[in-house]
Copies of this chain bind each other. A is one copy, B any other.
Amino acid sequence: MTQIKDKSVEIFLDELASKQATPGGGSAAAVMGAQAAALTSMVCNLTLGKPKYAEVEAEMQALLAESEALRTTLIGMIKADVDVFDKLMGCYGLPKVSDQEKAHRTEQIQIVLKEATLVPLACAKACAKAIELSRVAAEKGNLGVISDAGVAVMAAYAGLKSAALNVYINAASLKDREFAEARLVELQEVMAGVDIAAEDIYQIVKRKL
């Protein structure tokens, strides 16, 4: 099956809008994170090689390497979200007539639910990283394209808050409460201070316009 990344933007949006279960908000979150990383890369690409920004050349090179690696990770997460959701739906569809079947079905659902908690948690972490990277672009990038660093931070912030919702849902259905609570603590750590950081970076950009 054609991966979302290989479909046109319009078809992706059509499928997002449709009654098909996937792609859904999890994939949209990863796409927003990937847009954020791409825009930080754009700021780097339009800062590198400019005599006026020679002083930050090395830092922009390093930032570009990080944002491009992050973009690859986030593009992979578009598919990871679809895959784990489809896998979960498969488990819900398992037979549940006999007690044995019921037990097997519950067990399988719980195994995949753990994965379905880890996938958006990883996406949330990647988006938090994208926020961090956008700060460097906002602080040191070419003033002529600094607004793109502001779009980057907003896209990353939206991706993070979106991915978090999928962690909450799936963690809530987990019977292994120790695992679930540990993931929620991890998420809380990722989200700590992120509202302030995103607004701060946005204001850095706005002041430079």
Contacts and interface: CB of A to CB of B under 8 A. Distances in A.
Contacts of A202: 161
Interface stretch (A9-17, A96-104, A106-114, A175-183): A9-17
A73 interface: no
A145 B23 CA distance: 12
A127 to B, nearest CB: 11
A76 to B, nearest CB: 11
A28 B13 CA distance: 14
For the residues of A in contact with B, the DSSP-based class is helix
A69 to B, nearest CB: 12
A189 to B, nearest CB: 18
Contact of A31 (B5, B35, B145, B147): B35
A39 B10 contact: no
Nearest to A24: B148
A29 interface: yes
A165 B205 contact: yes
A25 B168 contact: no
Nearest to A48: B19
B19 A46 contact: yes
Interface in A6-48: 6-10, 12-14, 16-19, 21, 24-25, 28-29, 31-32, 34-35, 37-39, 41-42, 45-46
Given A24-B42, A32-B35, A158-B158, 16 more contacts: A9-B31, A9-B78, A13-B35, A14-B38, A17-B42, A17-B68, A19-B45, A19-B46, A21-B46, A147-B168, A147-B169, A151-B162, A154-B158, A165-B206, A165-B209, A169-B209
7 contacts: A9-B31, A13-B38, A16-B42, A19-B42, A19-B45, A28-B38, A168-B209
